[in-house]
Amino acid sequence: MEKESPYLNVYLGSLKKPWSDYCETLGKKPGAALKEAIQKQLENVKSQPEPLRQVQSSSDDQTKLRVEILLTPSEKTAIKSRAKLERCSQRRWIIDAIRAGLTREPQFEMKEIEALGESNYQLLAIGRNLNQMTKAMNEGCRDPSVLESIQSLRRLIDAHTAKVSDAIRASLERWNIE
């Protein structure tokens, strides 16, 4: 087994000159500044708490707890504006912002949910066509490698649609978080 090199080669292209100039203003060599930046990023990652997970859907009759927050007029206006833009209530926007912060998982806007739903619809239609092609090939005993490729593609589509469906469901439903 090869020993891993402690060196990192990075092609900066047009960034090299601005980076070198910036490092010069800091009084540091470009490599040393990059190493310091990487160390800082890794320290930030270590200090971040683990994200919480959405584990199961909570029932609609589950008790909700009231939390009161005070906002500046500009914060309230911004929330109202964003909620309108994302076609949801202010309450929903705030809950989504909290969930995104707790879980580090996306909380989709309605237009994104609609786009993901359309994506799944189209992929499922493609999958049905692939199934029909597979069936026709099975009946005619054609090239087995094509059949294998079609089946592999079908599995990828199924995995994608399941993932998108889970993401949509996670965004629309309230979940218990642990």
Give dist(CA 58, CA 52) in Å, integer. 15
CB 154 within 8 A of CB 131: yes
* Buried-state track 122-153, b at ≥16 Cβ within 10 A, e below 16: ebeeebeebeeebeeeeeeeeeeeeeeebeee
The predicted model scores a pTM of 0.45
15-29, 75-89, 129-143, 160-174: the lowest-pLDDT one: 160-174
User: Per residue in 86-127, pLDDT tens?
Assistant: 888 999 889 888 888 888 777 777 777 788 888 888 888 888
Give dist(CA 162, CA 174) in Å, integer. 19
Report residue 132 CA to chain centroid gap. Answer: 33
Give dist(CA 113, CA 119) in Å, integer. 10
